[in-house]
A and B are shown apart, each in its own frame.
Chain A
Amino acid sequence: DAGVIQSPRHEVTEMGQEVTLRCKPISGHDYLFWYRQTMMRGLELLIYFNNNVPIDDSGMPEDRFSAKMPNASFSTLKIQPSEPRDSAVYFCASSPHERGSYNEQFFGPGTRLTVL
């Protein structure tokens, strides 16, 4: 398996533009997570899905952020409009699920977003 795939790896955009980040989880994993990493705030969970359904989006910073998972192999995180303070590395992670247990989250390579 290729692992979790994210695209693009780097994104530079101007303030006010729409940004779409993409993630393909590991096949067979039914949990998908979106994280944001900055020096100031560390790793923050933004939202996670179980079987394509959003379970907890309390970490989404504001209405400019939205995430979708239309099928088991694809998810997007959209920022519209983008602002300089959104500059960060965005990680997608996936994990399998065994009833009554916890399982390793596998991270993608991340997307480094720079908003000018």
Chain B
Amino acid sequence: GENVEQHPSTLSVQEGDSAVIKCTYSDSASNYFPWYKQELGKRPQLIIDIRSNVGEKKDQRIAVTLNKTAKHFSLHITETQPEDSAVYFCAASSGGANNLFFGTGTRLTVIP
């Protein structure tokens, strides 16, 4: 089955700096890679996703990149703000299934 690894597990940045979270996956058939944000005590919510026919996708201060050859994808947050503080999860879909395999999460802290 699919195995998704995520790094780092914790990340602290100063407000206004950029944050980068990286994930690798094992199943070359995976072709859908969403990112979820989970605030303390809340549910995970999708913030951005990318499909394997695209190398990069941006949405305001958030961008994702995908390298299918190397089987890794990354989340980039620019101009970080305190409200960006949360746990971020990457995930990958395995082949034709609709289920997701999640990384272990990155706790991002933005220091004002």
Contacts and interface: CB of A to CB of B under 8 A. Distances in A.
Interface of A: 31, 33, 42-45, 48, 50, 55-56, 58, 91, 95, 97, 102-105, 107-110
Interface in B77-109: 89, 93, 97-105
B44 A43 contact: yes
Contacts of A56: 97, 99
Given A56-B97, A97-B98, A102-B98, A110 B43 contact: yes
Contacts of A33: 99
Interface residues of B, number: 22
Interface string B44-84: 11100101000000000000000000000000000000000
B65 to A, nearest CB: 18
Contacts of A48: 98-99
Given A42-B105, A43-B89, A43-B105, A105 B100 contact: yes
Among A43, A45, A107, which residue has the most Cβ atoms of chain B within 10 A?
A43
A104 B49 contact: yes
Nearest to B51: A102
B98 A50 contact: yes
A97 B97 CA distance: 11
A49 B42 CA distance: 24
